[in-house]
Structures are given as C-alpha cells and as structure tokens.
C-alpha cells in the first residue's frame, strides 16, 4: 500500500511491506503547482511500487470534525481516485498527530540535529499508513 501525506508544499509518500504489516517512509514529492501533475506523480509512484491501495491522510481537527484542510484533502482524494481508476482504490485515514508523531520518532531515533531539520513528510506518511494498517487488524 502507498501512504500519502498531502502538504501544501510537499507530498510525503510511504510504502507498506508486502504483508501489510509495516510501513516505512518512501519519498517526498515537491508540489509542482499543478494539482493534476501531482496526482499523476502519486499514482505513478503507487504503480511503480506495485501498491494495491492508496491511503491518504485526513487532517481532522482535534474534535474530530472536518475543517478546511480536511475538506481539501477529501476533494484531493476524490480527484486522486479518479486519476487512479477502479483498480487502485483510494481511502482516507485520520492523520491527527501524524506530524507530531513523526517528529517524536525522529528525535527518539537519536538522529543528529541536521537530520531532524529535514522535511518529515515521508515519515508522517509512514505514521498515517502504519496507523491504517494497525486499524485493519
């Protein structure tokens, strides 16, 4: 499976192992300014990796309600599903705290300060995808 963290400047991608047990960071795509091109890049990555599903993070508010970011993510996921076609389903998964969790995991790993300053979009995507995988058990 391919996990996706949709940011305003970057898109984080993560991939699961074949058994669907573990997720790990894959890559970070810079936003191109063309949403259709960004969607094509996500679908191309999914197909290249042999993914059978795309899981997109849904940034709900702390109360669990949809704010502007969640509504935008829903719209982008719907457009991504159209781009991917019926053979590559797209699902949304709650991403509350994914960035915070990603920051904490990088800090806990003992990474040097310079490594901790790099964008964590791919790590956040892995957090989202791992949460999704665990929710299916």
Domain borders along the chain are 2-62+72-135
Q: Residues 25-41: what's their mean pLDDT? A: 97
Mean pLDDT of the chain: 88
Tell me which of 31-40, 83-92, 93-102 is least confident. 93-102
Determine the pLDDT at residue 63.
79
Q: Residues 80-88: what's their mean pLDDT? A: 97
Question: What span, in angstroms and rounded, lies between the C-alpha atoms of 37 and 30?
Answer: 11
pTM of the model: 0.85
Nearest to 14 by CA among 28, 2, 30, 29: 2
Question: What span, in angstroms and rounded, lies between the C-alpha atoms of 68 and 136?
Answer: 27
The b/e string for 106-123 (b: 16+ C-beta within 10 A; e otherwise) is beeeeeeeeeeeeebbbb
Cβ atoms 130, 22 nearer than 8 A: yes
Q: Residues 108-113: what's their mean pLDDT? A: 60
Determine the pLDDT at residue 130.
93
Task: Retrieve residue 102's tokens.
Answer: 């990603």
CATH number for the domain formed by residue range(s) 2-62+72-135: 3.30.420.140
Determine the pLDDT at residue 120.
85
């Amino acid at each position: 499976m391919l996990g996706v963290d949709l940011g305003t400047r970057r898109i984080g991608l993560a991939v699961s192992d074949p058994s669907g047990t573990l997720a790990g960071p894959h890559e970070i795509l810079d936003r191109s300014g063309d949403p259709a091109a960004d969607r094509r890049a996500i679908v191309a990555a999914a197909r290249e990796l042999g993914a059978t599903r795309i899981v997109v993070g849904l940034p709900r508010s702390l109360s669990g309600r949809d704010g502007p970011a969640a509504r935008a993510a829903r719209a982008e996921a719907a457009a991504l599903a159209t781009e991917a076609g019926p053979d590559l389903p797209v699902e949304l998964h709650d991403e509350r705290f994914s960035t915070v969790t990603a920051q904490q995991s990088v800090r806990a790993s003992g990474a040097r300060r310079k490594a901790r300053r790099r964008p964590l979009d791919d790590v956040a995507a892995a957090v989202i995808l791992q949460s999704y995988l665990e929710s299916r058990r």
